[in-house]
Chain A
Amino acid sequence: MQSLEDIKAKIKDALPGLDCVIGWERGWSPLHGTPLFMRSPEDVDRLTWGPFNVGNPATYLTGFKGKKVGVVVKGCDSRSVVQLLQEKLVKREDVVVFGMPCEGVVDLTKVARKVGDIALVNAAVRAGGTLSVTTPEGMVEIPWEEVAADKCLSCQYPNALVSDHFAGEPLPPAMGRDPAAEQLAALEAMAPAELFAHWAKVMERCIRCYACRNACPMCVCRDHCIAQTRDPHWLTQEDSTREKLMFQMIHALHLAGRCTECGECQRSCPVDIPILALRRKLNAVVKDLFDYQAGVDPQAVPPLFTFQVEEAKINERGW
């Protein structure tokens, strides 16, 4: 792939001035891309690009505070970078962004539903509209729409929104279905008590591993997360649905007006809890009230960082 070679050359050029460049390499199976921290030209040769570059490398940026780093991004990842810049959590001069047009990434849960144990897969190739997966039983060809991550089907930003180096021809926005919106609509159609019971039921299986938090590029408090402080004690260590639900609300509300809908929280959940719907709803509320979308404009101020004396769309005395 020519553009991959181009970007590798650009990374090698930039590497001497950087602490490292974050990207992806092949993981433990042909379906898994894993984070790659490039520090030498040999590392750069391992860089991959394509449907298995699932994770969001922007998550690591705040961990490199005070250092100069590079990051290779898909369109959705670039929104996280933009949001981090907006909040001054990373400095523009400290990060070099490498971008390429993204044609979508796989959802491994969907692949597993088609081929069974994905640990047994020994080859996986995407060609156009088909993902061919080879297992000991033979090859399965799956239409791309059936295994792509939900967010990719209707992706509005397939090209990096900020980049210092861009290789390849920019792609148009995807025009497919939006399964996450359909799911949200289905939840919103439920009666309140029934919906609450639904959340309690799905959160019951949460193991409080905090992977959803750790994978989130905008969760930056790290060692100071209120979910784990003892003083004040927001959450007990009790294994109760109430605490799990409370944790989920902490994550969601701390992301109000900041979540870029990269979907990493839901993807990283080992027990597949559909928590993205909470964020989608919150984003819809923010969009509605403040006409704002996170991670799109590096100059914009996130809506909860500011206020207007007369709020156009808030009617606080209307009850």
Chain B
Amino acid sequence: MPVLAGKELRIVGFLCNWCSYGGADTAGVGRFTQPTDLRIIRVPCSGRIDPLFIVKALLGGADGVLVSGCHPRDCHYASGNFYARRRLEVLKGMLPILGIEPGRFEYTWVSASEGQRWQHVVTTFTNQIHALGPTPVKDVLGACQGLPSLKGGDRAVA
């Protein structure tokens, strides 16, 4: 049994390649203490994030999802984060009708140089998820079975 079993929750982070992933890296290089619940998925731009990625993660049993991109006006692709902001805000407003607390999902902006801000964001969000506790999704739907492989056909073993 992993040492942290029961203590850690599962948080999925979608970080854009140009700012926030760099910011998380900066925090790492700077050896800033961070909670370890977050698993990072690097995406080219926050505009690449389909709100359904977040829904899929939450329905799959993630206790929380964090999205972080470049600050407004600072997007590598100029407008990706502006579109993302609208989509993500709409998603956040809609989650409660599904029965998922809006606090399980947050989005924010962290630039590549902001190691300290990253530490703050990830700590605050992790604390927020711990305050909410484990997701009710797993109790209702059961643990997520093996995921289909990208090409379909062969299935991961449950």
Contact = CB atoms under 8 A, between A and B. Distances in A.
B86 A195 contact: no
B85 A316 contact: yes
B43 interface: no
Interface in B78-110: 79, 82-83, 85-91, 93-94, 96-101, 103, 106-109
A76 to B, nearest CB: 22
Nearest to B51: A253
Contacts of A194: 99
A281 B94 contact: yes
Contact of A307 (B55, B85, B128): B85
Contacts, number: 132
Contacts of B41: none
Interface in B130-158: 136-137, 139-141, 144-145, 148-152
Contacts of B141: 200, 240-242, 245
Interface residues of A, number: 50
Please classify the interface of chain A as helix (H, G, I), strand (E, B), loop, or mixed, using the class held by over half of its residues. helix
Interface stretch (A40-48, A52-60, A170-178, A230-238): A230-238
Given A193-B136, A289-B90, A233 B55 contact: no
A231 B51 CA distance: 19
B56 interface: yes
A101 B124 CA distance: 55
A108 interface: no
A28 interface: no
Interface of A: 184, 187-188, 190, 192-200, 230-234, 236, 238, 240-242, 245-246, 249-250, 252-253, 256-257, 277-278, 281-282, 285-286, 288-290, 303-304, 307-309, 311, 314, 316-317, 319
B100 A303 contact: no
B59 interface: yes
Contacts of B85: 307, 311, 314, 316
Given A188-B97, A195-B99, A316-B108, A253 B91 contact: yes
A253 B97 contact: no
A249 B98 contact: yes
